[in-house]
Amino acid sequence: MVGPVQATPRNAKGGGSTRRGTLTDRRGSGIPGILWIPAVLALCFLLLPLLALVLRAPWATLPHQLFTPVIGSALVLSLVSALCATALCLVLGIPLAWVLARSQGWAAAPRRVLRALVLVPLVLPPVVGGVALLLLLGRNGVIGRYLDEWFGLTIPFTTPAVVIAEAFVAMPFLVLAVEGALRGADRRFEDVAATLGASRWYIFRRVTLPLVVPGVAAGAVLCFARALGEFGATITFAGSFPGVTQTMPISAYLAMQTNPDGAIVISLVLLVVSVLVLVSLRDKWISGVAA
Amino acid sequence: MKTSRLALVPAIAIIALGLVACSTSYSGGGPLKIAVSSPPPTKKAEVLSGTLVVDAAASLTETFQKLGDEFHAKNPGVTVTFNFGGSSGLAAQIVSGAPVDVFASASPATMKTVTDAAATSADPVIFVKNRLEIAVPADNPGHITGLKDFTDPAKKIALCAPEVPCGAAAVTVFKNAGLTAAPDTLEQDVKAALTKVQLGEVDAALVYRTDVKAAGDKVKGIPFPESSTAINDYLIAPLKASSNQKLAAAFVAWILSSNGQKVLSAAGFDLP
């Protein structure tokens, strides 16, 4: 959790500020020697556990373990639910980020409270988030009770519950990134558009949003990665059933109980998928920042 | 890992109440009596001190908390820290080198993982047995009457995942009953399954009889005859990783003592 949390504000700032990028490039050689030691240590700290995973992987039986229906269905479920969660976060998170970014005119107190509340899922233990979701949307939950009574709809133990749990945990990543980008965006473009007679909705769609696309992309990637790795809120709120709610992290956890090799294989697949996602989108979002 | 500090509060009360009782309970030749070469004549044979880490099956949470508090009250120099969880996960941690003194597992299979890795310092001993019971919310919204209701897809059912002992026991029970269960979720340990019942999110779950008892009024237990076909043996053993073998052995003896067995039996365990 620590990595993405620290990365977010940096990405968020980078998303809007073009000057920052060129300055860093110019001064790239001026890294004080003493910083190298902790920097290399930090890199080892982040990479060595993953290296151990790769080294200890049962390569001989890997293909055999990989192509089991359990892993296949868990992988598909994980990808689909993480994509849906990211879509949900985009639809709801961008407007929220916009409200947060444009709340400078408000009194300080409500603005701070609002920001803090939005970020709560970021620091909340995911299991607590899962319990909270159960108490809200569960069969006896504050809202869930009426969904059940009126529509016969129960959310827990279904794939939508997985999406909801993942979106709950991942949305702050997107909101942070997009809000940072919006704050950094040059508002004079909007002013010009307004003087030319564009409506607020038109300005938002055709001026503001295109300006912050890199920030949105960065946020969406972090959001997707967080959703893909989600465990605590999912297993608490959505439960665990193969093909319905048992995502990759949950099947890795359960496999660890009896079949550590299987757990390593699942972890490896998750690792590869995560790296692929980050690498494939990296160029896009960095060039986006520089543009 | 949440016990040690919390345990102090009740422990102080127990010490205050138990000062007189202590002298009598020790004179009974209990298992805690550790031989010391030169004790002052006025002092009892009591030199246990240090920190004890006990990994125990989730179904032992309440009883071991209680017995741990009592152990601490009798040995104020000892801090007992518990790590409760699914036995299989705990066994995996121990085999990977977790610094644990005592392991209490909910199944022979999970204990075998540990003995196979030669991680125990003495042979595991069966200290209790447990059987499954149907747990339903107090008002039984699903009108559950027996094991056959678990085959109804319309009812919300939680079972333990087959990878953990309570799930393995459930598989055996359904197999012996000739039924195919239709669960909605396979929980990672027995307490997670019970929580879903307590919150009313499922109509029924198969958990241990002791868990039903520990849950109090919120959960109603329905015994079923097939449960006798899958009785779980609970085993306990001190571990090689322990830096204080004397203390680890003393705790195991404490669980096997008549008092330990009394507490466990009161919680719904069958005695071996």
- Tens of pLDDT along A55-71? 888 888 888 877 788 78
Q: Residues B206-226: pLDDT tens digits?
A: 999 988 988 888 899 999 998
CB contact A154 to B (< 8 Å): yes
Which among A138, A239, A258 has the least Cβ separation from residue B163?
A258
Q: Is pLDDT larger for residue A20 or for residue A260?
A: A260
Q: What percent of chain A has pLDDT over 90?
A: 41
Q: How far apart are CA B87 and CA B166, in angstroms?
A: 10
Please state, in angstroms and rounded to a whole number, the distance separating the CA atoms of residues A152 and B156: 13
Spatial distance between the Cα atoms of B122 and B248, rounded to a whole number of angstroms = 10
The pLDDT of residue A25: 54
From chain A residues 157-186, the ones with a CB under 8 A of any chain B CB are 157
Please check the confidence at residue B253 and state whether its pLDDT lies above 70.
yes
Is residue A16 pLDDT above 50, yes or no? no
Whether B48 has a pLDDT exceeding 50, the answer reads yes
What are the φ/ψ torsions at residue B186 (nearest 5 degrees)? -115, 100
Question: What is the reported pLDDT for A262?
Answer: 84
Amino acid at B231: I
Q: Is A18 on the interface with B (CB under 8 A)?
A: no
- Cα of A239 to nearest chain B Cα, Å: 5
What pLDDT score was predicted for residue B191? 86
Contact B181, B151 (CB under 8 A): yes
Of A30-44, A159-173, B210-224, give the range with the top mean pLDDT.
A159-173
Per-residue pLDDT, A28: 56
Band of residue A291 on the pLDDT scale cut at 50, 70, 90: very low
Q: Does the reported pTM lie above 0.80?
A: no
What is the mean pLDDT of the segment spanning B15-34?
A: 39
pLDDT at A185: 86
Q: How many CB atoms lie within 10 A of CB B47?
A: 13
What is the side-by-side strand order in the sheet with B157-160? B185-187, B157-160, B204-208, B132-137, B219-222
- Please give the residue of chain B at the shortest CA–CA distance from A260: B92
| Region B8-13 average pLDDT | 44
Average pLDDT, chain A: 83
- Least trusted range by pLDDT, from A217-221, A277-281, B51-55, B172-176: A277-281
Other CB atoms within 10 A of residue A252 CB: 21
Look at residue A22 and give its three-state secondary structure. Answer: helix
